[in-house]
Amino acid sequence: MKPRLLVTSLLVLGLAACGSTSDTTQTSTPPSSDLGSVKKDDKLAAMLPPEIASAGKLRVGSNIQNPPNNFYDQDGKTPLGSEVDLIKAISAKLGLTAEHSDMAFSSLITSLETGRVDVTMAAMNDTAERQQKIDFVDYFTSGITIMVQKGNPQGVKSVDDLCGKGIAVNLGSSQEQFAKEQSEKCKAAGKPEVQLSVTDSDTGNQNQLRTGRVAAILNDLPTAVYVSKTAGDGQYFEVVPLPPINGGPYGIGVNKQNTKLSEAIRAALQSLIDDGTYDKILTVWDIKQGAITKAAINGK
């Protein structure tokens, strides 16, 4: 069964696993972007590799539990979110239909390299290390944010306050790498190491924070802000008011051997930026602070 990650239902499954069923589910209607005006651009579609153009679909690998980027509607089957809307719009520009596959974040790059999917889109940071394996079409700028229990009972006000505390992160994420680096800095300063909890579940991480098993979650800015505003009607969590840590781009991952697809996606994204569709999608999901003006491949 897929986790039902809609607004304040973010924690229900995790709490039920601990024997608690007292939390109620708020099923507010999620935002939606009107993509009906996005039409196929024949010149852009002509840039596609023939095998993808003939298939008529773009196979998208994602980790669908990361609102507002991607999460499931109430039916537990329909992907929603800013990334979902954006890849749908890109696909429509190219005359394709986006087809999502939900998988562990840590398996996304392998799935791309082996041809299981055509692209990945899962709030994955475009980093020099990852560029050794895949290419990225950059579509958003984000950074690491610290999310804590409402009222910040453990007093986490800076990255230095993470020393000796339990911190939850996603496996294979930039947050995991940063937490390990911060732990080494703590040790070098004669302070206790970060007590790292690494999982493949945002829901599980939120449950750990809600119940006090960790002091904080490291997550990307859009997710942390969205969860803090919506989980428990905004009563469960808050974001530590710091500038984003290690800010950088999110990228749509593409196999390095498929440069035609990378160029087609970049051109389609730039078209959406130019005609205002991109801005409308980010406005709907309240994440305009991460908008870009130029679509790039590997930051260039």
CATH number, domain containing residue 210: 3.40.190.10
271 φ, ψ (degrees, to nearest 5): -60, -40
Of 226, 245, 264, which marks where a domain is finished?
A: 245
Whether residue 158 is found in the same domain as residue 220: yes
Q: Which domain holds residue 121?
A: 7-142+247-297
Q: How far is CA 270 from CA 89, 170, 274, in A?
A: 11, 30, 6
Whether residue 60 is found in the same domain as residue 185: no
**What tens digit of pLDDT does each residue of 69-105 get?**
999 999 999 999 999 999 999 999 999 999 999 999 9
Whether residue 18 is found in the same domain as residue 122: yes
Whether residue 113 is found in the same domain as residue 75: yes
Residue 120 counted as domain residue:
yes
In this prediction, residue 26 carries a pLDDT of 35
Whether residue 117 is found in the same domain as residue 203: no
Residue 87 counted as domain residue:
yes
Q: How many structural domains comprise the chain?
A: 2
> Alpha-carbon torsion 216, 287, 131, 128, what sign?
negative
Residue 218 counted as domain residue:
yes
Eight-class DSSP state of 65:
-
Whether residue 137 is found in the same domain as residue 147: no
**What tens digit of pLDDT does each residue of 127-166 get?**
999 999 999 999 999 999 999 999 999 999 999 999 999 9
* Angle, in degrees to the nearest 10, between helices 259-275 and 82-93: 110
In this prediction, residue 29 carries a pLDDT of 58
Residue 2 counted as domain residue:
no
Whether residue 187 is found in the same domain as residue 257: no
Residue 267 — pLDDT band, cuts 50, 70, 90? Answer: very high
Whether residue 134 is found in the same domain as residue 279: yes
For the chain, what is the mean pLDDT? Answer: 89
Residue 100 counted as domain residue:
yes
Whether residue 81 is found in the same domain as residue 39: yes
In this prediction, residue 174 carries a pLDDT of 87
Residue 1 counted as domain residue:
no
Residue 84 counted as domain residue:
yes
Q: What's the CA gap between 43 and 32, in Å, rounded?
A: 28
Residue 267 counted as domain residue:
yes
Whether residue 186 is found in the same domain as residue 205: yes
Assign 61 to helix, strand or coil.
strand
97 φ, ψ (degrees, to nearest 5): -115, 130
Mean pLDDT of 98-115: 97
Whether residue 91 is found in the same domain as residue 184: no
How much is the pTM?
0.75
| Torsion angle of C-alpha atoms 293, 87, 252, 249, degrees rounded to 10 | 40
Whether residue 25 is found in the same domain as residue 109: yes
User: For the chain, how long is the longest CA-to-CA vector?
Assistant: 61
- % pLDDT > 70, the chain: 90
